[in-house]
């Protein structure tokens, strides 16, 4: 049985960190869906009208990135990049149903949300600090690189292949979610002002949407200082 594991050192430095988890099986990850596209566009319209970059939810991620030595302006957290792109008038392509749905949830709740095709992962899914020896190939690239020593990374603890660098800055290519993916783990993260009820509400809504629109079997979980591991 594989696990999602948060290294204790993460909580030693960031005790407010919380992660909602959606475990997804047998999903039909359609390349197009008009209802999901409408949800996403409505969320984008709402976000465009609001100055969301000034909220504590986003500022909290800037603070966390600075604490582990990453510049959030040069390497912005994913939710910050998403909101900035929207407010500048940029469109979000409909990659597939799952990606569109977790973009919708990210925009609605102002929480970083991402996922991985777990059939590509051999070991446990670990969030921890990098030694600098791990391997990373960015989404859409074939060039291998290594994270900085002390960088927060999400990685396969057997192969040391990195799924995401700088906590939530850039995703890898090897676990990207495609329309052919069937087994996924999706994460919704929060720090500082993000409460457990907020993260659970976002997780529950995403789980319902995945069942409704993608015929998926889903289960939800929650990780925090008192619960660092989850089997799936």
Q: Apex CA 71: angle with CA 70 and CA 74, to 5°? A: 125
**Cα–Cα distance list, 208 to 97, 105, 203, 204, 211 (Å):** 13, 12, 9, 6, 5
Distances (CA, A) of 191 to 199, 224, 230: 10, 10, 19
Position 95 scores a pLDDT of: 96
Query: Please, are residues 95 and 107 in contact by the beta-carbon 8 Å criterion?
Result: no
Question: How far is 105 from 205, CA to CA, in rounded Å?
Answer: 8
Considering the chain, what percentage of its residues have pLDDT values greater than 90? Answer: 92
Residues 174 and 184: their CA atoms lie apart, in Å, by: 13
pLDDT > 80? residue 94: yes
Two tokens at 173? Answer: 């290519």
How high is the pLDDT of residue 24?
98
Specify the pLDDT at position 52: 76
User: pLDDT per residue over 38-77, tens digit each?
Assistant: 999 999 998 887 777 888 999 999 999 999 999 999 999 9
Instruction: Provide the mean pLDDT of the chain.
Output: 96
What pTM was computed for the model?
Answer: 0.95
Residue range of the domain that includes 79? 3-231
Residues 6+ away with beta carbon under 8 Å from 33: 94, 97, 100, 213
Position with higher pLDDT, 159 vs 50: 159
Instruction: Report the pLDDT value the prediction gives residue 49, as an integer from 0 to 100.
Output: 77
Distance CA(11)–CA(157), nearest Å, equals 18
Q: Residue 38 CB: number of other CB atoms within 10 A?
A: 10
Half-sphere exposure of 229 (CA within 13 A, CB side): 7
* CATH number, domain with residue 120: 3.50.40.10
For the chain, what is the domain count? 1
Residue 204: what pLDDT?
Answer: 98
- Compute the distance between CA of residue 130 and CA of residue 93 in angstroms, rounded to an integer: 31
Please give the C-alpha separations between residue 202 and each of 34, 60, 105, 143, in angstroms, as whole numbers: 21, 18, 7, 34
Phi, psi of 197 (to 5 degrees): -60, -35
Question: pLDDT by residue (tens digit) across 104-116?
Answer: 999 999 999 999 9
Per-residue pLDDT at 192 exceeds 90: no
Q: Provide the 8-state DSSP code for 123.
A: S
């Amino acid at each position: 049985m594989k696990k999602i594991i948060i290294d204790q050192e993460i909580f030693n430095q960031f005790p407010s960190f919380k992660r909602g988890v959606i475990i997804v099986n047998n999903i039909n990850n359609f390349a197009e869906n008009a209802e999901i596209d409408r949800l996403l566009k409505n969320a984008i319209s709402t976000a465009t009208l609001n100055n969301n970059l000034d909220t504590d939810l986003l500022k909290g991620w800037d603070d966390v990135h600075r604490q582990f030595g990453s510049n959030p302006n040069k390497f912005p957290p994913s939710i910050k990049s998403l909101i900035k792109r929207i407010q500048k008038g940029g469109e979000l392509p409909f990659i597939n149903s799952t990606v569109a749905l977790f973009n919708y949830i990210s925009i609605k709740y102002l929480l970083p949300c991402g996922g991985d095709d777990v059939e590509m992962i051999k070991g446990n899914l670990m969030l921890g600090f990098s030694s600098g020896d791990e391997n990373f190939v960015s989404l859409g690239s074939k060039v291998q690189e290594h994270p900085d020593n002390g960088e927060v990374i999400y990685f396969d603890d057997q192969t040391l292949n990195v799924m995401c660098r700088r906590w939530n800055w850039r995703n890898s290519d090897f676990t990207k979610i495609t329309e052919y993916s069937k087994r996924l783990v999706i994460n919704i993260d929060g720090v500082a002002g993000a409460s457990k009820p907020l993260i659970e509400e976002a997780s529950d809504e995403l789980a319902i949407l995945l069942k409704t629109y993608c015929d998926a079997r889903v289960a939800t979980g929650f990780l925090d200082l008192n619960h660092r591991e989850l089997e799936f």
